[in-house]
Amino acid sequence: MNYIKLTINGKEITAPEGSTVLEAARSAGIDIPTLCFDGSLEAYGGCGVCVVEAEGIPKLLRSCSAKISDGMVIHTESERVIKARKIAIELIMSAHDGDCIAPCQLACPANTDCQGYVGLIANGEFKEALKLIKTKIPLPASIGRVCPHPCEKACRRKKAEEPINIAQLKSFAADLDLKGESYLTEVKENTGKKVAVVGGGPGGLTAAYYLRTEGHEVTVYDMMDKMGGMLRYGIPEYRLPKKVLDSEIALIEKTGVKLCNNVKLGKDITLDALKTQNDAVILAPGAWKSSPMRVKGEELEGVYGGIDFLRSVIKENSVDIGKRVAVCGGGNTAMDACRTAVRLGAEEVYVIYRRTEAEMPAEEIEIKESKEEGVIYKFLTNPVEIHGEGGKVCGMTLQLMELGESDASGRRRPIPIEGKTEYIELDSVIMAIGQKLDTSDFGEITLNDRGNILVGENSFKTNIDGVFAIGDATNKGASIAIEAIGEADRCAKVVNAYLNGEKLSFTQPYLSKRDEDRVDVSDREFQPRTVAKVLEANYRRNCFDEVSLGLTAEEAQKEAQRCLECGCREYFKCRLLNVAQRYDINPERFAGEMPQEYTHDENAFIERNPAKCILCGLCVRSCRETEKLSVWGLLGRGFKTEVATSFSLPLDETKCTNCGLCVKLCPTGALAEKSALRKQVPLKEEYSLQSVTVDGLECRVIVASYAGKVLRVIPDNENARKIDRNKLNELFIK
Amino acid sequence: MRIVVGQGSCGIAAGAEKVRQALIKEGFTAPELTIAGCIGMCYLEPIVDIYDDNGDVKRLVKVSEMDAPKIAEYIRTGNIGLISDLLVSEEDAQFLKKQTRIALRRCGIINPEELADYEKADGYSALKKAVTEMTPEEVIEVIKTSGLAGRGGAGFPTWFKWNAARQAEGDEKYLICNADEGDPGAFMDRAVIESDPHNLIEGMLIGAYAIGAQNAVVYVRAEYPLAIKRLKRAIKQATEAGYLGSNIFGSDFSCNMTIKAGAGAFVCGEETALIESLEGHRGMPRLKPPFPAQSGFWRKPSNINNVETFANVGWIINNGGEAFAAMGTEGSKGTKVFAVTGKIKRSGLVEIPMGKTLRDVIFDIGGGIKDGKEFKAVQMGGPSGGCIPAELIDTVIDYKALGATGAIMGSGGMVVMDEGTCMVNMAKFFLDFTAKESCGKCVPCRIGTTRMLEILKRITDGNGKEGDIELLEELCYGIKDGSLCGLGQTAPNPVLTTIRYFRDEYEAHINSKNCPAGECSELIEYYIVPEKCKGCTLCARNCPVDAISGSVKTVHKIDTEKCIKCKKCYQSCKFDAIIKR
């Protein structure tokens, strides 16, 4: 065979005469992306992604078909090539209607694979669900109870009736794990590197946990006498029993994280000392100071800050608040405060909120349950003065309000109604209107204009090298626990890279997302949401017992079945996404009509969604050229061209033998192999090539498994494609 | 004496068959009463030519069946006064006199259904000469000398393709005629087949002889039933007469000819897509190379030329390559047929030597713009072509010179536009066509053209955004660079050229939500100028939605909320009192 010399990206290579540019490049280890190409089929040239530039040739070449010639000088990543590829990819993505990952996961600040664990729960794989959760959240039983679940707000099931009860499903899986032999993650070999984490709240503990699993020696310092931070001292017992938190913290400790309580930074230990004793320091001190209201009378005895009040109750079990209590604020801390006040025996508990119920940031369920417990709401009122007698609270004047124009947050702005006030008699006032970082302890750390620690958005770096910071104490200030956990997870990765002498900064890679306006769930059967039973209001208002009784296994599986499976089944092996993430693309600029309906079609082995099809033609061509069947064909012209079965028949009525070749070649999730799970779940499978003899034929198959369980068996040679799929499945799927 | 009724599709559509039937009623029959194809003066159809025994002709135009008695009376009496109102005017006669006809030389003159007519007009003499006196190489050499280039659009030298196919290894070769004339506004190929089908057969046979093909196929669009009918008849006649079949003119050269009716996809004008379609597949282009000359129909060496190209071949063989090359410019030889349509006074088929200017075609031959309006631009080459503005009216008809403007010679479609044509809307029209006709194979063309169309739609709807022009340009170059075949590579041309010459119009739509030509209905409103309104009530009576108020002899007013911009008032006002603004 004759060999030809050519240059690709400045590298001189030789390749057999008659090779294509793509073959020559790949043989030299140079990767050129392709979507519509497969070595077993004739080159097609449809996707336009494999283009390269050849010196002296004015047009870009499609490397899948252009043959090499002597002395050719090829550039596979030149500016012109990248521009052409980007525009091709952007156009493809603009007409590719699908979600790479589900909206619930995207909405979770910790990027928890909600669809994954909900799906596993639906299949009864409770342990696997818990393991999946723990890759993102080390405190799932606690978080499942307290999280305001942004995932559920994004859940598309709400368009049909109500969102999936994701939060309770999470605590269900976690509780089950705590009751049995609890799962302990693997810890890598010791690296010899040391990390100090200041603050043992959800953020600090999470960062410690993930850095420990990487093999680093991690110590958590906390000023309180127990770990848990706001989860312990800011959340009342009836919402999160402390024994649940204790069990979860104990599991973290079991991985080898050292926990040091009653150590306050700036008092018991200095930042300088931590720095010299460790290779990296993560500050996660939280925001422990209640924000003042700047109302006259705030200094009176009987006026408490929201989190100060909750902490005192948890630490000392009781606070003397009298019989008449007003809680100012409309958030979750206000809810915790008012419901705690009820439990302390207060007879009249008011919530003072300057807008209406519709604008309250607190969870709906909290409002509902607090009302059941007898809390009185005074909407459209605002405290103007707290009155005292002998230095002690005796009442409060409220300004009556009305709603005006919408403000920047989209909520209608409350405006005082001139001259209209109301007076209520009170014994104490709890001001739950926000919390701030106690800044006295941080020395040389640079703060922002809000008084929070200033850190890089994705780097978590403070102004001091080796010192990182996360959570409520940083940048925008206090937020929800899952936000701190997400930051902690990302920060752990950054710090791990830092300890290994690498640089890492987070950028969100491109993901395909469906336009919510196009989502139609009208074909879904009505299935109400399953919610865990709760204690009777009359019983629970007198004690601190956990209100929620949790989901039973049966309830959990039923609830998880409701999941709409928004995220793409093929996310973990999608070639299209792989190509799309290769360059910095912006398909949004070409947003417009979608060529195909988002539909679902399936037979026993294959699922099909034409909306995700990119018309690479691999299915059509492989069925025609390799299998000589022509089950698939192209229909229509122009933008609306589609892949259709012969005579648009259902797959089972065509000549399809379920050989799986088209599915294997499909670069997207337009065609997918069904898995052995009852509820289909996108999972990061492991693949192995195996050979078996069936009916005297040597069959090669790709075996896809998850957590040791075989989920799919995909024929990988001509013999295997001839065998009945049920037979192949029986051999591997138990 | 002979009465010839022009019966191309266009003539028949205008009523030529009714005229012929009326003449039959007056007692005329064949051979005295006969038909011809299309002379190319669309705006004057139906046309009846009356030849006296000396061969002099009286050409009657816009004839209706009601005129038959007058014509009969004239023929009986010779009283020219009877038909003076039907006689073609001297001015209109110039439309033909100023042309130089080679491809169309027999069109509208001979009877396309009679082989004898063709034979009388030198028919098959060129084939005889080629087959009996010349070697295939000599034929190719003559074509090379002539400088004939492909008339279908790309303008590739014909001899080169023939030579490549001749040189290609293989005993079995194919000659294919592309008669899938898909450009909206182009109809010269149809005219040739309907009016002079044997000329196509003869040209193809000379080509088949030159490349060594034993089989010839004409791929005609199914929307041309009359062309298919006449070509079928001609193939039958030629086969019976021995011009087609085995041992033509007693030589070793044998060739069969078949017709394949296309299913109406524009992309099948692209040669590899045409081959796919011929083979019974979906019409989608193949990757090139290999080129059809190496691997074409059934993977055998094949040569594809357009109808007009073949229509020149017989003439070149008979008159010599030099005679053909004597016409035209350095790089473009011979004549070219243009199908001139749009806002022009005299529309039809114009064949002129290369080297003339657009002005010669549009003003000298076409008579300029209708209704006293200003000439604004001409779209050359159909949806693949580009738009040439008024200031470039003196551009020479030459492949290179036209290419330099951003337009192309193309198949010769010329759509003439006046001041009332919105260039953004025009670009949208052509892009809508190509977007729909994209075969769906490659991404830039399939998705890119639709995205461009969406942007153009929002611009003409008044929803254009800053940056849209740049986005369009980026898409244009991306599609040109990334598309597999000519359809995609040229689809952005109407947009690119209109942006190049009429950027201000795009900007007006986007920035001031204004359509300067007053064509985009979302951006205009109709207004009655009070000073001009006589209160005749005509507009109010014509308004289908009662949007116009006003009583007799008072100034009328349009309620713009109700107005649906149907244009009826604007068209009906006798006092030009209604304006667009």
Whether A661 contacts A606, CB under 8 Å: no
With contacts defined as CB-CB under 8 Å, which chain B residues touch A593? 450, 454
Using CA atoms, how far apart are residues B315 and B200, in angstroms rounded to an integer? 11
Whether B162 contacts B207, CB under 8 Å: yes
Q: How buried is B125 (Cβ within 10 angstroms: 0-12 exposed, 13-18 middle, 19+ buried)?
A: middle
Whether B408 contacts B381, CB under 8 Å: yes
Q: Of all residues in chain A, what percent carry a pLDDT higher than 90?
A: 88
Structural tokens at position B452? 């461009």
Alpha helices in A147-216 (DSSP H): 150-154, 157-160, 166-179, 202-213
Measured in angstroms, the CA of A36 and the nearest CA of chain B are apart by: 10
The DSSP symbol for B299 reads: G
Is A87–B444 a contact, with Cβ atoms under 8 angstroms apart?
yes
With contacts defined as CB-CB under 8 Å, which chain B residues touch A641? 438-440, 446
Residue A509: alpha-carbon gap to chain centroid = 14
Domain membership of residue A573 (yes or no) is: no
Beta-sheet pairing, B335-342 with B348-353? antiparallel
Structurally, what CATH architecture does the domain formed by B423-511 represent? Up-down Bundle (1.20)
| pLDDT tens profile B39-73 | 999 999 999 999 998 989 999 999 999 999 999 99
Whether A669 contacts A609, CB under 8 Å: yes
Q: What is the CB-side half-sphere exposure of residue B399 using CA atoms within 13 A? A: 18
pLDDT mean across residues, chain A:
94
Residue B46: alpha-carbon gap to chain centroid = 19
Alpha carbon distances (Å) from B100 to B103, B104, B120, B350: 9, 9, 21, 9
Q: How many domains does chain A have?
A: 6
| pLDDT tens profile A446-479 | 999 888 999 998 899 999 999 999 999 999 988 9
**Structure confidence at residue A226 (pLDDT):** 96
Beta bridge partners of A61: A52
Is A51–B437 a contact, with Cβ atoms under 8 angstroms apart?
no
With contacts defined as CB-CB under 8 Å, which chain B residues touch A643? none
With contacts defined as CB-CB under 8 Å, which chain A residues touch B446? 615, 638-639, 641
Look at residue A4 and give its three-state secondary structure. Answer: strand
pLDDT at A283 over 90: yes
Residue A326: alpha-carbon gap to chain centroid = 37
With contacts defined as CB-CB under 8 Å, which chain B residues touch A633? 282
In this prediction, residues B190-211 reach a mean pLDDT of 98
Look at residue A432 and give its three-state secondary structure. Answer: coil
Which CATH fold topology does B335-418 show?
Ubiquitin-like (UB roll) (3.10.20)
Residue range(s) occupied by CATH 3.40.30.10 in chain B: 2-97
CATH 3.40.30.10 at B2-97, yes or no: yes
Using CA atoms, how far apart are residues A392 and B47, in angstroms rounded to an integer? 111
Domain membership of residue A686 (yes or no) is: yes
Q: Where are the beta strands (DSSP E) in B313-406?
A: 335-342, 348-353, 375-380, 386-389
Residue B15: alpha-carbon gap to chain centroid = 21
Verify that A362 and A409 share a domain, yes or no. Answer: yes
| pLDDT tens profile A600-634 | 888 889 999 999 999 999 999 999 999 999 999 99
Is A641–B443 a contact, with Cβ atoms under 8 angstroms apart?
no
Nearest to A92 by CA among A614, A492, A562: A614
Alpha carbon distances (Å) from B441 to A308, A575, A618, B154, B454: 67, 19, 12, 21, 20
Beta-sheet pairing, B335-342 with B302-306? unpaired
Beta bridge partners of A706: A709
Domain membership of residue A589 (yes or no) is: no
How many CB atoms within 10 Å of residue A226?
Answer: 18
The DSSP symbol for A548 reads: B
User: Does B464 or B184 have the greater pLDDT score?
Assistant: B464
Verify that A440 and A428 share a domain, yes or no. Answer: no
Hey, is the C-beta of B457 within 8 angstroms of any chain A C-beta? no
Mutate to test the interface with A, among B446, B453, B483 (most CBs of A within 10 A): B446
> Which residue of chain B is at minimal alpha-carbon distance from A52?
B482
Whether B6 contacts B43, CB under 8 Å: no
**CATH code, domain carrying A74:** 3.10.20.740
Alpha carbon distances (Å) from A724 to A300, A714, A731, B395, B480: 81, 12, 11, 69, 47
| pLDDT tens profile A107-119 | 999 999 999 999 9
In this prediction, residues A317-326 reach a mean pLDDT of 89
Question: Can you give the residue range of the structural domain that contains A654?
Answer: 596-672
- Length of chain A in residues, anyone? 734
Q: What are phi and psi of A51, to 5 degrees?
A: -60, 145
* Maximum C-alpha span of chain A: 105
Verify that A296 and A368 share a domain, yes or no. Answer: yes
Structural tokens at position A34? 């392709």
Find the CB nearest B443 among A83, A91, A592. A91
Using CA atoms, how far apart are residues A377 and A368, in angstroms rounded to an integer? 11
Output the CA angle A82-A84-A86, nearest 5 degrees: 65
Structural tokens at position A354? 């300057």
Cβ pairs bridging A and B (under 8 Å): 99
Is A641–B446 a contact, with Cβ atoms under 8 angstroms apart?
yes
Look at residue B4 and give its three-state secondary structure. Answer: strand
Find the CB nearest A639 among B441, B446, B483. B446
Beta bridge partners of B16: none
> Which residue of chain A is at minimal alpha-carbon distance from B474?
A87
Structural tokens at position A397? 């004047």
Measured in angstroms, the CA of B102 and the nearest CA of chain A are apart by: 36
**CATH code, domain carrying A668:** 3.30.70.20
Where b means 16+ CB within 10 Å and e means fewer, B153-165 reads bbbebbbebbbbb
Mutate to test the interface with B, among A53, A79, A83, A91 (most CBs of B within 10 A): A91
Reduce the secondary structure of B456-486 to three states and give it as a string. Answer: HHHHHCCCCCCCHHHHHHHHHHHHHHHCCCH
- Band (pLDDT 50/70/90 cuts) for residue A405 is confident
Hey, is the C-beta of B471 within 8 angstroms of any chain A C-beta? yes
Domain membership of residue A571 (yes or no) is: no
Verify that A345 and A396 share a domain, yes or no. Answer: yes
Verify that A705 and A666 share a domain, yes or no. Answer: no
Is B282–A615 a contact, with Cβ atoms under 8 angstroms apart?
no
| pLDDT tens profile A641-699 | 999 998 889 888 999 999 999 999 999 999 999 999 999 999 999 999 999 999 999 99
> Which residue of chain A is at minimal alpha-carbon distance from B434?
A638
Q: To which residue do tokens 């953004």 refer?
A: B424
Find the CB nearest A637 among B438, B442, B483. B438
| pLDDT tens profile A331-379 | 999 999 999 999 999 999 999 999 999 999 999 999 999 999 999 999 9
In this prediction, residues B195-222 reach a mean pLDDT of 97
Verify that A296 and A425 share a domain, yes or no. Answer: yes
Using CA atoms, how far apart are residues A658 and A166, in angstroms rounded to an integer? 35
In this prediction, residues B341-363 reach a mean pLDDT of 96
Q: What are phi and psi of B220, to 5 degrees?
A: -110, 140
| pLDDT tens profile A530-576 | 999 999 999 999 999 999 999 999 999 999 999 999 999 999 999 99
Integer distance in angstroms from the first to the last C-alpha of chain B? 58
Is A87–B447 a contact, with Cβ atoms under 8 angstroms apart?
no
Verify that A351 and A313 share a domain, yes or no. Answer: yes
Which CATH fold topology does B525-580 show?
Alpha-Beta Plaits (3.30.70)
Whether A114 contacts A108, CB under 8 Å: yes
Structural tokens at position A96? 């590719």
In this prediction, residues B261-281 reach a mean pLDDT of 92
Is B471–A60 a contact, with Cβ atoms under 8 angstroms apart?
no
Alpha carbon distances (Å) from B427 to A33, A715, B224: 34, 50, 27
Whether A414 contacts A382, CB under 8 Å: yes
In this prediction, residues B485-499 reach a mean pLDDT of 95
With contacts defined as CB-CB under 8 Å, which chain A residues touch B451? 91, 94, 590, 592
- Rg, Å, chain B Cα set: 26
With contacts defined as CB-CB under 8 Å, which chain A residues touch B471? 589
Using CA atoms, how far apart are residues A181 and B516, in angstroms rounded to an integer? 78
Residue range(s) occupied by CATH 1.20.1440.230 in chain B: 423-511
Hey, is the C-beta of B447 within 8 angstroms of any chain A C-beta? yes
Using CA atoms, how far apart are residues B234 and B215, in angstroms rounded to an integer? 17
Hey, is the C-beta of B263 within 8 angstroms of any chain A C-beta? no
User: Does A586 or A319 have the greater pLDDT score?
Assistant: A586
Whether A68 contacts A22, CB under 8 Å: no
Hey, is the C-beta of B474 within 8 angstroms of any chain A C-beta? yes
| pLDDT tens profile A237-258 | 999 999 999 999 999 999 999 9
Is A48–B448 a contact, with Cβ atoms under 8 angstroms apart?
no
Hey, is the C-beta of B129 within 8 angstroms of any chain A C-beta? no
pLDDT at A409 over 80: no
Is A84–B478 a contact, with Cβ atoms under 8 angstroms apart?
yes
How many CB atoms within 10 Å of residue A125?
Answer: 22
Using CA atoms, how far apart are residues B84 and B62, in angstroms rounded to an integer? 12
Is B442–A45 a contact, with Cβ atoms under 8 angstroms apart?
yes
Q: Of all residues in chain B, what percent carry a pLDDT higher than 70?
A: 100
How many CB atoms within 10 Å of residue B312?
Answer: 26
Using CA atoms, how far apart are residues A252 and A242, in angstroms rounded to an integer? 15
Look at residue A248 and give its three-state secondary structure. Answer: helix
What pTM value is reported for the model? 0.91
ipTM of the complex: 0.90
Measured in angstroms, the CA of A44 and the nearest CA of chain B are apart by: 7
**CATH code, domain carrying A124:** 1.10.1060
Domain boundary, last residue among A499, A519, A545: A499
Domain membership of residue A189 (yes or no) is: no
Output the CA angle B70-B74-B78, nearest 5 degrees: 165
Alpha helices in B110-157 (DSSP H): 115-120, 125-133, 136-146
Measured in angstroms, the CA of A188 and the nearest CA of chain B are apart by: 46
* Amino acid occupying residue A265: L
Residue B253: alpha-carbon gap to chain centroid = 34
Beta-sheet pairing, A412-425 with A194-198? unpaired
Its CATH class, for the domain covering B115-324, is alpha beta
Domain membership of residue A405 (yes or no) is: yes
With contacts defined as CB-CB under 8 Å, which chain A residues touch B487? none
Whether A629 contacts A721, CB under 8 Å: no
pLDDT at A441 over 90: no
**Structure confidence at residue A433 (pLDDT):** 86
Alpha carbon distances (Å) from A446 to A454, A462, B6, B328: 6, 7, 92, 80
Q: Cβ contacts of residue B335 below 8 Å, gap of 6+?
A: B100, B101, B102, B103, B312, B327, B328, B351, B352, B353, B354
Q: What are phi and psi of A564, to 5 degrees?
A: -80, -5
In this prediction, residues B505-522 reach a mean pLDDT of 93
> Which residue of chain B is at minimal alpha-carbon distance from A61?
B482
With contacts defined as CB-CB under 8 Å, which chain A residues touch B442? 45-48
Is A87–B435 a contact, with Cβ atoms under 8 angstroms apart?
no
| pLDDT tens profile A31-42 | 999 999 999 999
Look at residue B403 and give its three-state secondary structure. Answer: helix
Domain membership of residue A420 (yes or no) is: yes
Whether A41 contacts A622, CB under 8 Å: yes
Mutate to test the interface with B, among A68, A615, A637 (most CBs of B within 10 A): A637
The DSSP symbol for A550 reads: -
**Structure confidence at residue A440 (pLDDT):** 66
Hey, is the C-beta of B27 within 8 angstroms of any chain A C-beta? no
Helix, strand and coil percent figures for chain B, each rounded to 5: 45, 15, 40
